[in-house]
Chains A and B, each alone.
Chain A
Amino acid sequence: MSVNTTTTADSQAPAKQGVSLPAPAAATGNVKIMRTAGAILLAIGVAAPFLSGNFLIFQLTMMMIYAIAILGLNILTGFNGQFSLGHGAFYAVGAYTAAIMMDQFGIGYLWTLPIAGIVCFVVGFLFGLPALRLDGVYLALATFALAVVTPQLFKLTPFEHWTSGVMGIVISKPDAPFGLPLNPDQWLYFLTFAIGLLAYVCARNLVGSRTGRALMAIRDNPIAARSMGVNTALFKSLAFGVSALYTGVAGALGAIVVQYISPDSFHFALSVALVVGLVVGGVGWLPGALFGGAFIMFVPNIAEELSKGLSGAVYGVIMILMMYAIPTGLGGLLKAALGALSKRSTTR
C-alpha cells in the first residue's frame, strides 16, 4: 500500500470539487473566494516589480522559479503518489542544459527553456523507469541518493569540457526585448511570471484531464487502477517525465536569473528545499506551490535574522512544528478554514 494517500487523497483543489461541503451553494461561494484571491494575487504580481527595488524583484523571481519547480514535484507526489527527494537533480540538469547551450553554442536564452524542458522530460522519464519498481521509502532512498550525488556528477571529468567542472559557468543577463521600458530584472520577472502562469494553467488542465484522473487512480490504488485498464508503468514514468520537465524549466530560468551555475549550487539542500516547499504549500494542492516557493525563499532569511548562526536549526524547527500543527500544509489549512466558513454561512 502506498501509505501517503491519507494526506493527498482529499486535499486536491478545494475550489473545483468543493470536497465534502454540505450545499452546492457553499461550494460556489468557495469558488468565488478562490477566484477573487487569484485575481488579487495576479494584480499584485503585475504591480510588484514597479513598486519594489531590484533585489526584491530578484527574490520574487526566484520565488516564482521555485514555485514552478514545486509545481512539478506536486504533479509527481501530490497527484501520482511517488516521492522524490531528488528533484534538485532535474533542476540542475535544466540549469546546465540552458547554461551550456548559451555558453558553448550561443543560443538565445528563450530557446534554451523549451529545450531544457525536453531534456529534463527525457531524463525524468528514464529515471522514472527504474523508479517504477520502487515505492514509498525505497523511492525516497533512490532519489535521496540522486540528490546527494548530483553535485559530484557535474564535476565528473568526462563532462568537464561542457560543464567547466567546479569553476561553473557564468551567464550574462538578457535585456528586455522590443525596446520595452523595463530593466533586466523587471523583464526576467515578467518572463518568469508568464511562464509560471502558463505552467500553472497546464498543470491544472493536466490534473483535471483523463490523464490526471489516471495519475490519481494510480496514487490511490495502483492495483485497482491497473485492473481498470490504466497503463500504470507508462503513466508513472510520464508523471516523472512531466514533473522533471517543470523542474527543468525552473532550473533553466534559475540559471538565467542567477547568471551563474556551478555543481555546488545544486547541493542536497536544494532538493530538500523543494520537498519542504511542497509540504508547506500542501501536497496535492497546486496553488500551494506559490506559498511553498515563498517559504523556501524567505523563511531561511527570517531564520537568519532570528539567529545568525542557528538559521538551519530555526528552519528545521519550523519544519517539524509545521508537521505537527498542520501536516496537510497551507492548502489543508485553507481548505479547513473555507470549509468552516461556508458551513457557518449555510447554517445561518
Chain B
Amino acid sequence: MELLVQQLVTGIATGGIYACMALAVVMIYQAIHHLNFAQGEMAMFSTFIAWQMLAWGVPYWLVIPLTVVISFAGGVAIERLVIRPLGDAPVLSHIVVFIGLFAIINSLAGFIWDFTIKPFPSPFGEGSQFGGLISNHQVGMIAVTMTVLVILFLFFQYTRVGLAMRAAAENPASARLVGIRVGWMIALGWGMAAAIGAIAGILIAPIVFLEPNMMLSILLYGFAGAVLGGLTSPTGAVFGGFMVGIIENLAGTYIPEIGGELKLPIALFLIVTVLVFKPTGLFGRTVVQRV
C-alpha cells in the first residue's frame, strides 16, 4: 500500500512536468495547428541558460525569472524568424523545419556546454516532507505546475490579450477583422510556450540531469499527455500530463517486463491507443471535416 501511495505521488510529481510540456505543445498547436517537435530542445536550451547563470553565481530567485524572460524572447524570435516565413507551407515542410530546429538547438547546446551530464540543483533544496513520502523537489514541482496552470487560466479567461490570443487561434480571419494582430498573437503564443517549456526544463533537470538529449523522452511523454487530454484542450493537456505520469510510474512498478528505466514504450502505447480509439482525446473537440 505504501508502495502504491509512493508511486502515485511520484507519478503526480513527474506528471506535473509532462503537464507543462503538454501545455506548451498544445499552446503552439492551437496557434498554428502544427506540433512543435523542437519544443523539448527549446526547453533544454533554456535549462542550460539557467545552469550557466547559476554557474556564474547568480542567485536562484533571480535565475528563474531571467530564464523565463529570455526563453520568452527566444520563442518569439524563432516564430518571427523561422516559422513565420513558412506561411501556409504543407505539413511536411513544417515538420522538416521543426526537425531542422531540433538539430540546430541540440547541436548548439552540445557545442556550447558539451555533452557531459551535469547535475542541476533543485530550486527547492534537498530534504523531504511527510516522513520521507515526498521530496521537497516533488512538492515544489506540483506546486509550480499548479501555479502556472492557474495563472494561464486567469490569463486566457480574464485578460484582453488572453482573449485576443484565443480569438486569433479560434478564427484568424474574424479576429483580424475586429482589429487583433493575429501574427503577433501567434508570436506571443510561441513565447509563452517557450517560457512554460523553460519552467518544465528547470523542474525536470534535477531529476534526469542536464544534458542536450535529456528532453527527447520528456517531449514524448508530453505529446502523450497532450494526445490523452486532447490536442485542442489546454485543460485536457494538463490532466493528460498528470495521467501519463501516474500511468508511467504504476506500470513501471507493477509490470515486471517493463522494468525501471524502460518505460518509454508506454508512451507509444498510450499515444497509439488514444489516437485509435478516441482521436480527440478525453477533453478535445471533434473537428468536422468538409469534403
Q: Which residues of A contact B (CB under 8 A)?
A: 1, 3-7, 77, 83, 85, 130, 133-134, 136-138, 140-142, 144-146, 148-149, 152-153, 155-158, 223-224, 268, 272, 275-276, 279, 283, 309-317, 319-320, 322-324, 327
- Give the shortest distance, in Å, between B290 (CB) and chain A (any CB): 8
- Give the shortest distance, in Å, between B50 (CB) and chain A (any CB): 21
Q: Which residues of B are found within 8 Å of A85, using beta-carbon distances?
A: 95
Give complex CA distance A312, B276 in Å: 35
User: 18 A-B contacts, Cβ less than 8 Å apart?
Assistant: A137-B29, A137-B35, A138-B279, A145-B271, A145-B272, A148-B217, A149-B264, A149-B265, A157-B259, A272-B99, A275-B99, A276-B96, A309-B107, A312-B110, A316-B102, A317-B104, A319-B99, A327-B89
Secondary structure call for the A interface:
helix
Residue B106 interfacial (CB < 8 Å) = yes
- Give the shortest distance, in Å, between B32 (CB) and chain A (any CB): 11
Q: Are A319 and B257 within 8 A (Cβ)?
A: no
Secondary structure call for the B interface:
helix
Q: Which residue of B lies closest to A7 (CB)?
A: B90
Partner of A279, one of B96, B276, B291: B96
Q: Are B82 and A320 within 8 A (Cβ)?
A: yes
Give complex CA distance A312, B38 in Å: 14
Q: Which residues of A are found within 8 Å of B231, using beta-carbon distances?
A: 137
Q: Are A320 and B101 within 8 A (Cβ)?
A: yes
Residue B216 interfacial (CB < 8 Å) = yes
Q: Are A152 and B91 within 8 A (Cβ)?
A: no
Q: Which residue of B lies closest to A86 (CB)?
A: B268
Q: Are B91 and A140 within 8 A (Cβ)?
A: yes
Q: Which residues of A are found within 8 Å of B289, using beta-carbon distances?
A: 1
Residue B37 interfacial (CB < 8 Å) = yes
Q: Which residues of A are found within 8 Å of B227, using beta-carbon distances?
A: 141
Q: Are B100 and A317 within 8 A (Cβ)?
A: yes
Partner of B275, one of A5, A133, A314, A316: A133
- Give the shortest distance, in Å, between B18 (CB) and chain A (any CB): 14
Residue B9 interfacial (CB < 8 Å) = no
Partner of A324, one of B37, B85, B257, B291: B85
Q: Which residues of A are found within 8 Å of B95, using beta-carbon distances?
A: 83, 85, 140, 275
Residue B202 interfacial (CB < 8 Å) = no
Q: Are A142 and B217 within 8 A (Cβ)?
A: no
Give complex CA distance A313, B96 in Å: 14
Size bin of chain B's contact surface:
35 or more
* A312 and B92 in contact, given A137-B35, A148-B217, A268-B216 (Cβ under 8 angstroms): no
* A152 and B262 in contact, given A310-B107, A313-B104, A323-B89 (Cβ under 8 angstroms): yes
Number of A-B contacts (CB under 8 A): 148
Partner of A319, one of B37, B89, B96, B268: B96
Interface string of B87-117 (1 = CB under 8 A from A): 0011111011101111110111011000000
Give complex CA distance A83, B96 in Å: 12
Q: Which residues of B are found within 8 Å of A1, using beta-carbon distances?
A: 289-290
Q: Are B108 and A156 within 8 A (Cβ)?
A: no
Q: Are A130 and B37 within 8 A (Cβ)?
A: no
Residue B167 interfacial (CB < 8 Å) = no
- Give the shortest distance, in Å, between B260 (CB) and chain A (any CB): 11
Q: Are A145 and B90 within 8 A (Cβ)?
A: no
Q: Which residues of A are found within 8 Å of B264, using beta-carbon distances?
A: 148-149, 152
Give complex CA distance A7, B271 in Å: 28
Other A-B pairs, 10, CB within 8 Å; known A141-B227, A275-B99:
A1-B290, A134-B275, A137-B33, A140-B95, A145-B272, A156-B265, A279-B93, A312-B106, A320-B100, A323-B96
Give complex CA distance A283, B96 in Å: 12
- Give the shortest distance, in Å, between A187 (CB) and chain B (any CB): 35
Q: Which residues of A are found within 8 Å of B82, using beta-carbon distances?
A: 320
Q: Which residues of B are found within 8 Å of A138, using beta-carbon distances?
A: 275, 279
User: Which of A138, A145, A148 has the most chain B CB atoms inside 10 A of its CB?
Assistant: A145
